[in-house]
Amino acid sequence: MWTERLLEATGWEDQRLMLPWASLEDVLEIRLPDDYKRLCEAFGAGVFSGAYFALSVGDGASSDFLSMWRTQVRYAPEPGSEEEGQSRYAPYAIYRPRRGGLIPWGASESAHQLFWIADSGSPDDWPTLAMSPEAAAGEWNRYEMSASEFMGRAILDPEFGGLGVADLVPRPFFDPHGGEVG
């Protein structure tokens, strides 16, 4: 539903991309939310209204989902370590197979990072967490909504709040040439 609303609002034609979900999910050892897959298949890599992008799959760009997750794992404290509780991700940890945790799925041009909390629940029910670049450990904005709903509300809803851009960009658009992480 939200992907279709974004397609209509941006005037973007559904790309119907065939993306390598099975290989990505094999590496992660977990299924990703269906609405996120639909969003990526419809739009591909790029930036919504000059503000937000969903990490793409299999394109080798710096906004590549698997590359971003591996970078997060590489620099995050080991699960259960003393440093983990002091990490900027606290009280969460970066996802590792069979352990749960944060999985990055998007970001903003102003360096906000967007994550799911992957737990034992259905991936389609994972909430979105947003972390600003200047956030201290434990400072999160939690949204009980899917990736596509978060993207839709941030781009289309002028009442979404601090992370929304609808009041700044009255005509939503999608730029397929954007999406490169800083």
Is the distance from CB of 160 to CB of 151 less than 8 angstroms? no
Write down the pLDDT at residue 179: 47
Question: How many domains in the chain?
Answer: 1
For the record, the structure tokens of 175 come out as 């730029």
pLDDT tens-place string over residues 57-99: 865 555 689 988 999 888 887 766 666 555 778 888 899 998 8
Is 181 a member of any domain?
no
Residues 87, 175: Cα–Cα separation, whole Å: 34
| Tokens 């799959």 found at | 57
For the record, the structure tokens of 158 come out as 């002028």
CATH assignment of the domain containing 32: 3.40.1580.10
Write down the pLDDT at residue 86: 59
Write down the pLDDT at residue 89: 81
Write down the pLDDT at residue 58: 67
pLDDT over threshold 50, residue 182: no
Is 180 a member of any domain?
no
Is 106 a member of any domain?
yes
Is 182 a member of any domain?
no
Is 173 a member of any domain?
no
pLDDT tens-place string over residues 22-40: 999 999 999 999 999 999 9
| Tokens 């993207």 found at | 151
What value does the mean pLDDT take over residues 161-181? 82
Domain boundaries, position 79: 2-168
Is the distance from CB of 130 to CB of 141 less than 8 angstroms? yes
Is 25 a member of any domain?
yes
Is 176 a member of any domain?
no
